[in-house]
Structure 1
Amino acid sequence: MKTVAMLLFPDFLLLDMSGPLEVFSIANRYLAPENHYRIVTIGSEPGALRASNGVVVQADLAIEQANDACDLLLIPGGPGAYDRQMPQVLAWLPEAVQRAQWFGSICTGAFILGDAGLLDGYRVTTHWHYTERLIKRVPKARVETDQIYIQDRNLLTSGGVTAGIDLALAVVARDHGKKVAQDVAKVLLVLMKRQGGQAQFSPLMTAVAPQESVVTKVQNQVLEQLGEPFTVERMAALANMSARHFSRLFVRELQMTPMEFLQSARIDGARSLLETTDLPLKTIAYKSGFGSVRHMRSLFSARLGLTPNQYREQFS
């Protein structure tokens, strides 16, 4: 019997807890009793703990009682994971992780592991909206932005919210084979393996500031005329600069080249049209500046891991 322990704390995200634990619970239906998962919840402080949605949960053990080894120790995300100071948790975690065979995080639970110094030197991920924040907070970790979940040695980290289910299914498949994991996935009505990564959910560009600099002025002009055929030279002419000087300035301000910006802008523009309209792919490719459906499909597949048709099916 394997023990899966989940640490709870004030303002944790309930789905980060219930999603993965439901996977292990349902897996028990398909396993012999001696192979069942034993599920244990550990509270960061005495008494009931209120999740971020207001639901109150009573943990099985208080943190000072949780001294036994477990096979997998998981940390959920939620506002409490990145906004609260929890010195008692940070003091307890390193020894708890040493006692565990595997440890990991769901969504923004990575911040707690990072604050405890447990992500240094590992490949990790978190919810796409928080990856930049995690990069700054845990500079010694290698934060990847487009993974649903990552296994690096004995550490498992996952992207946002429901990605914890993907992570748990992967654990079940590793422990008991793909067939059991597939049976659990069917009960939950989820896919065993998603198409694409987190990039399909996140915008490729952050919002462009209104007319703050020469570069942002050009960005806004490009976004207003996305269907036009832009080159670096044309964008530089809008800024009254040479192409070489404009490119250097662009990279210095935005950490991307003008053509990288243009490609991301066109993909995001096409995504919006795919989500909100029934326009034919040819029209969307034209309006977004790709020139052809073939070119749009190629860039979608490279950046998002999905074709435009697959994207529309998932998000419209």
Structure 2
Amino acid sequence: MKTVAMVLFPDFLLLDMAGPMEVFSIANRYLAPTERYELSTIGTEHGALRASNGVSVHPDVHIDQADQAYDLLLVPGGPGAYSEKHPPLLDWLQSAVSRAGCYGSICTGAFVLGHAGLLDGYRVTTHWHYTERLIKAFPKATVETDKIYVQDRNLITSGGVTAGIDLALSVVAEDHGKKVAQDVAKVLLVVMKRQGSQAQFSPLMAAVAPHETPVTRVQNYMLEHLDEAFSIERMAGLATMSPRHFARVFAREVKMTPMEFLQSARIDCARNLLETTDLPLKTVAFKSGFGSVRHMRFLFSEKLGLTPTLYREQSS
């Protein structure tokens, strides 16, 4: 029997806890008694802890009493994970992880592990909205910005919220085989392996800076005329700069090349049209500036990991 523990703190995200724990609980229906998961919750405070949605949960044990060597130790995300540091929890985690067979985080729970010094030297991920923040906070970790979940040696981290279910299913598959994990996925009405990555949920293009500069003028012009053809020379002309100087200034200000910005803007435009309209793919491709469905399909597959048709189906 494997032991799985979830560490709870004030303002944790309830679904980050409930999703993975439900996966292990349902898996127990298909396992022999000696193979089942033993689930428990550990609290940073005595008594009930209030989740970010207002629901209170009474952990099984306080961290001062949790000295067991857990097979899997997980930390959920939520406002309490990325807004607070919880010093007693960080100290306890450092000791508990040394005894655990495997440890990990759901969503922004990665910040708790990071503050405990447990991400350094590992490949990790978190919710797409917080990847840049995680990169800046913990430069010794390698952050995978578009993965649903990442396993690196004895550390497993997941993307946002429901990605914790994907993480738990992967653990069940590794422990007991793909068939058991598939049975659990069917009960939960989720797919065993998602199409695409976190990139399909996050905008590829960063917002244009509010202050006006030659670069932002070009950016705004491109966004209003995505169906037109653009070259570095044309963009530079709009900014009244030489092509080389424009490319250098653009990359410095926007953190991507002009052509990367244009491509990302076109993909985001196409995504919006696929989500909000029933326009034919040919029209979507034209309005977004791809020129052809084939080109749009290639870039969608390359950047998002799925075709425009699958993207529309998953968004509807």
- Counterpart code for 1:71: D
**Structure-to-structure mapping, 1:68-87, within 5 angstroms:** 68-87=68-87
Tell me if 1:289 matches 2:274.
no
Other-structure match for 1:164: 164
Displacement, 1:121?
A: 0.4
Report the counterpart of residue 312 of structure 2 in structure 1: 312
Q: Which runs of 5+ in 2 are unaligned?
A: none
The amino acid across from 2:111 in the alignment is F
Map 1:121-136 onto structure 2 (within 5 A): 121-136=121-136
Provide the residue aligned with 2:18 in structure 1: 18
Residue equivalent to 1:241: 241
Determine the structure 2 residue equivalent to 1:268.
268
Q: Name the counterpart of 1:119.
A: 119
- Contact map agreement 2:274 2:312 (CA 8 A) in 1: yes
**What amino acid maps onto 2:191 in structure 1?**
L
What is the CA–CA distance in structure 1 between the aligned matches of 2:151 and 2:181, rounded to whole Å? 17
Large movers: runs of 4+ above 6 Å: none
Shift of 1:134: 0.5
State the partner residue of 2:141. 141
Percent of pairs with identical residues: 76
> Structure 1 210/151 Cα, relative in aligned 2: closer, same or farther at 3 Å?
same
Aligned residue for 2:102? 102
Residues in 2 aligned to 1:244 and 1:42: alpha-carbon distance in whole angstroms = 57
Secondary structure of the 2:195 match is: coil
TM score, norm. by length of structure 1: 0.99
* Structure 1, gaps ≥5 residues long: none
Q: State how far apart, in whole Å, the 2-side matches of 1:274 and 1:91 are.
A: 47
1:38-82 residue CA offsets vs partner (Å, 9 max, x unmatched): 001000111100000000000000010000101000000000001
Q: What amino acid maps onto 2:56 in structure 1? A: V
How far apart are 1:211 and its partner, in Å?
4.5
CA–CA separation in structure 2 for the residues paired with 1:4 and 1:65: 16
Partner Cα separation in structure 2 for residue 315 and residue 231 of structure 1: 32
Secondary structure, in 3 states, of the residue corresponding to 2:7? Answer: strand
Residues 237-264 of structure 1, C-alpha deviations (whole Å, 9 max, x = no match): 1001111110011111112110000000
CA distance in 2, matches of 1:54, 1:311: 33
Match of 2:182 in 1: 182
| Residue in 2 that maps onto 1:278 | 278
Deviation at 1:220, TM superposition (A): 0.4
Please tell me the residue identity of whatever aligns with 1:115: H
- The alpha-carbon deviation at position 212 of structure 1 amounts to 2.4
Aligned pair count? 316
Amino acid in the other structure paired with 1:169: L
